[in-house]
Amino acid sequence: MNSPEIQQKSFLLLLAIVSLAFGWILLPFYGAVFWGAVLAIIFAPLHRRMLLVMNQRRNLAAFTTLLLCLIIVILPFILLTASLLQEGLAIYERIRSGELNFGAYFQQIMNALPPWVVNLLDNLGLSDISEIRDTLSNSALQGSQLIASEALNFGQNTFGFIISFSIMLYLLFFLLRDGTILSAKISKAIPLSLEHKRHLLSKFATVVRATVKGNIAVAAIQGALGGAIFSFLGIQGALLWGVVMAILSLLPAVGAALIWAPVAVYFLLTGSVWQGITLICFGVFVIGLVDNLLRPILVGRDTKIPDYVVLISTLGGLMLFGLNGFVIGPVIAALFIAAWDIFSSTKE
């Protein structure tokens, strides 16, 4: 009674069980595995060039590419994270001591509002200024406490970070060296036609490169510009706000304006007119234009994902997977669209 059909079903069940078990084993280091794979995809073209330069010496080419990845991406990120945590702790101390009081800033804005705006707020039931002020102060304190706790956790989990970091580098080396062989095996295992497999794998690689290389480059430039103008205007925590603007720049239709626009309004309402006008002009004509000019060049139109899908998938990815979600979300959305394109084409 041991028919081939039963054998095939039993084997597929075994395959599913061992695959899930292997995924479960990798789960504690999913971030390291994920970023090792992402960096391997991004630096694959550079690795191919290294192979040509080094006469197909796979180990040497992979090691050289890994060193370049460290210099270009990883070390700057570590230094930026350390500086950010240090500045976040300094802001937390200023908020806790009362030196930095967002409630007082809000009170200044309310005092500068014209009477008709105050009457409008009264009609909307937003006249309880003290409650809003206290809410802002408490929110700022809670946010700074979160940064402080994250900095403390980072210090306490240094050993775990080193382990994950080492796994990522180790995996990245072998993915660079054996990436072509692994991708061929994965392609062979996918039960689809050759054309459909090429379409899915190409879409996956394109979205990963576009999301990481293009969007991070644009976000980094916008964050750097935002931090620079904040530092020029004497705003405290310029590095921290620059990083926040960079993160918000990853979201289409939202952007860094969520940070610099309220600050510009604060300047205008509190009498710092030239600072407000300078920040508005710089935000609109420099920070805002970076996205319109550089994103099409660095990202291109290859992803063919609507902006609203990118926005929703990025937000959902961030909520489910943390920082990793800004890549995972759009990749899942792209594969979703590609899979349904294949399904609809087979029905024609």
pTM above 0.85, yes or no: no
- Model pLDDT for residues 215-251, shown as the tens digit of each residue: 777 888 888 888 889 888 888 777 778 888 887 777 6
**246: which residues sit within 8 A by CB, 6+ positions away?**
219, 220, 222, 223, 224, 226, 256
Mean pLDDT for the stretch of residues 67-82? 81
Alpha carbon 194 to chain centroid, angstroms: 32
Q: What is the pLDDT of residues 128-152, one digit of tens each?
A: 555 555 555 555 555 555 555 555 5
What pLDDT is stored for residue 149 in this prediction? 57
Within 10 Å of residue 287's Cβ, how many Cβ atoms?
25
Which whole number is the average pLDDT over 54-77? 85
Neighbour tally for 312: CB within 10 Å: 16
Q: How far apart are CA 182 and CA 194, in angstroms?
A: 16
Higher pLDDT among residues 94 and 80, named by residue: 80
CB 85 within 8 A of CB 151: yes
